[in-house]
Amino acid sequence: MPFLSEATTAQPPTGEIDYRLARRQLLSEFRKGRLAQHEICDAQPELVRVAREASSPTSVACPVCDDGLLVHVTFVFGPRLPKHGRCVTSLKELKALARQSGDFSVYVVEVCPECRWNHLARSFPLKPRR
Ligand SMILES: [Zn+2]
């Protein structure tokens, strides 16, 4: 079953989850015309704002509009953080959270500020699991 083995190899033992497979499937549905652009380019205004102002630009072109470069926005979820997560913009901030007690999860979302395409890129525990 190629689908299964691919999903397994995309998941390294560190607890990191890679969402490339789901992303590829979604984009393939879009290219086949089964999904409209507004259905996949639905980033909330707040997400687009942080993508423009406080995120890490990549050199990867947007797979949907091909005009914009994707940016990565990092959210951390865990104890004492807002329900919708905290947007983290620096490694320093991430390290400070790692020193606190409790389990934190990091989610990296790729966003195209031009067409509002957004997709989860990967997630991982902030502290390595023992
Ligand atoms: Zn785009």
CA of 98 to the centre of ligand 1 (A): 33
How far apart CA 49 and CA 31 sit, in angstroms, is 27
What's the pLDDT at 78?
A: 96
Whether 64 has a pLDDT exceeding 80, the answer reads: yes
pLDDT in tens, 73-90: 999 999 999 998 999 988
Residue 86 near residue 34, CB atoms below 8 Å: no
CA of 23 to the centre of ligand 1 (A): 14
Parallel, antiparallel, or unpaired: how do β-strands 118-125 and 17-18 relate?
A: antiparallel
Confidence of residue 15 (pLDDT cuts 50, 70, 90): confident
CA of 37 to the centre of ligand 1 (A): 10
What's the pLDDT at 127?
A: 87
CA of 114 to the centre of ligand 1 (A): 5
CA of 53 to the centre of ligand 1 (A): 16
